[in-house]
Amino acid sequence: MPEIEYRFGRHLTMTLDHNFDRLHVEAGRLYTANISRIKLVYQLNKRTFIRAITQYIDYRRNTSLYLSEVAPQEQHIFNQFLFSYKINPQTVVYLGYSDNYFADQDIHPTQTNRTVFAKIGYAWVI
């Protein structure tokens, strides 16, 4: 999987990657998948960062080779935004948002779900 990482100064990092996958069976090509992702991380200081991820997936299928009915083409888009703050070495607070979109040959990109979340991670010392 090819990947490019570029640093814009000391605080901002961008990563791009792409995965291409094809599955061939005896009767021919079953599917082709293209998965592209971009990730941006802005490190405010040693304790705090903000991250944004967008991932795009495109599936192309040979429907005649499937046993059950599948869409010949399908796209998914995933977005996530995350804020992280490390209170001390054992405690981290995360605040975030994510959503998903779906499209196929009959449906334009439509949001299928969204999530707002908060998490506190704490290491117990015994």
Domain map of the chain by residue range? Answer: 3-122
Distance between CA atoms of 27 and 64, rounded to whole angstroms? 10
> What single-letter amino acid sits at 48?
T
pLDDT recorded at residue 107: 83
Q: What's the chain's length in residues?
A: 126
Over residues 65-101, the pLDDT tens digits come to: 888 988 889 999 999 999 999 999 899 999 999 999 9
What the block records as the tokens of 44 is: 């405010």
Q: Among residues 3, 80, 14, 79, which one has the least CA distance to residue 43?
A: 14
Can you state the percent helix, strand and coil of the chain, rounding each to 5?
0, 75, 25
> Would you say residue 123 has pLDDT above 90?
no
3-state secondary structure (DSSP) of residue 62: coil
Statement: residue 4 has pLDDT above 90: yes
pLDDT of residue 34: 96
pLDDT band at 23 (very low <50, low <70, confident <90, very high): very high
Residue 22 pLDDT exceeds 90: yes
Q: Are 34 and 17 in contact (CB under 8 A)?
A: no
pLDDT class for 27, splitting at 50, 70, 90? confident
Give whole-number Cα distances, 124 to 21, 95, 121, in Å.
Answer: 42, 21, 10
pLDDT tens per residue, range 28-63: 899 999 999 999 999 999 999 999 999 999 999 998
DSSP state of 2: -
Confidence band, pLDDT 50/70/90 cuts, at residue 21: very high
Please give the distance of CA 88 from its chain centroid, rounded to a whole number: 28
